[in-house]
Copies of this chain bind each other. A is one copy, B any other.
Amino acid sequence: MTSVKRKGILERLDAGEVVIGDGGYVLQLERRGYVKAGHWTPEAAVEHPEAVRQLHREFLRAGADVMQTFTFYSCDDKLDISGNAPNITCQQINEVACDIAREVANEGGALVCAGVSQTGVYKDRSSESEVKAIVKKQLDVFLRKDVDFLIAEYFAHVEEAVWAVEVLVTSGKPVASTLCISPKGDIDRVCPAECAVRLVKAGAKIVGVNCHVDPTQCLNTVKQMKEGLDTAGLRAHLMIQPLGFHCPDCTSAGYIGLPEFPFALESRVVNRWDVHKYAREAYTAGIRYIGGCCGFEPYHIRALAEELAPERGFLPPASQKHGLWGSALEGSSKPYVKARASRSHWENLKPASGRPLCPSMSIPDA
């Protein structure tokens, strides 16, 4: 399948458009029964393509402008360790994942973005060639499948991300890069401002953060990145794809350090109104590529698209099945439900956990 001709990612961002990203695949597909927690490898693309295709479609319907290929941790070292799929190779996964993403992207006006992430071999400076070889191998497939742009995401060491960017830019495709770091910086204590500078100098045209911490903390980090770039006189587009979980109790290890990770995070899931607030704050901070990571389900992406509909000029297809700010409750025969058809109800609500034996914060294990 080849790409339909449409405006590229940089054309869109350069024109000042808001780009809505998609949500999280691995945690959602774990809940649907197709991904094994722990190693999180994406063999479902080969084993159950219909399940992966369906989730892509839901994000597309919800308003996502980008389909990220379901290739997370699809590098040989990770797949081998997982033992999840002994007869499947990463090359197979990556090829099929690109095809699925393209198929669904073509159903709307979306772009296909293929990603690489932190490897298992990174140690220090000495591992550069090893890391780059792994990235290169993935890139070869992505280029053969002619994806629209590339992302180096979910890196905890900016140094490793820089290496990945250096490989990806050789393709001539636009390159984005996001780190999974807290407002305090990367694992090596490089501050967000400096991280952004290094990524842009390496060739990334879009920089930001993804995963590990919640929208509030991610916004903090990207704002620091912006300041760093401004101070350095560098220009790049800003991107944010936070967790869909509230975790103010996280340390720099992110939500992986919480005792609830990964099997008891339900009570932390953000709701659609939290997403409205996050979308508005991200936009106001000057970020134009706005999506989600683990915990972001299709309806969260729809909330992004609905909050930013005034700026974008249109609502996504899935809004046909959603009244803005609860307005679909107006037809309820129960007066107390009808009374909730109101923006102020949902904006001011402090939702109860229903768990009186549970606290509001945990002590992280890490």
A residues near B, CB below 8 A?
Answer: 30-39, 50-51, 54, 57-58, 61-62, 81-82, 84, 120, 214, 245-249, 256-273, 297-299, 302, 317-318, 320-323, 326, 328-334, 336-337, 339-340, 345-346, 349-363, 365-366
Contact = CB atoms under 8 A, between A and B. Distances in A.
A6 B312 CA distance: 53
A33 B58 contact: yes
Q: Is the interface of A mostly helix, strand, loop or mixed?
A: loop
Given A337-B256, A358-B350, A299 B331 contact: no
A264 B362 contact: no
A270 B265 CA distance: 10
A330 to B, nearest CB: 8
A249 to B, nearest CB: 7
Given A38-B328, A58-B51, A360-B360, A267 B352 contact: yes
Given A30-B299, A256-B337, A36 B321 contact: yes
Contact of A321 (B30, B273, B339, B345): B30
Contact of A355 (B340, B353, B357): B353
- Rank and list the top 8 A-B pairs by shortest CB-CB distance, nearest first: A33-B318, A246-B354, A38-B328, A356-B361, A268-B354, A336-B365, A266-B269, A353-B353
B33 A302 contact: yes
Given A351-B266, A358-B360, A360-B353, A366 B33 contact: no
B247 A31 contact: no
Given A81-B331, A321-B33, A358-B352, A263 B272 contact: yes
Contacts of A54: 50-51, 54
A330 B259 CA distance: 15
A353 B270 CA distance: 10
Contacts of A264: 271, 273, 346, 349, 351
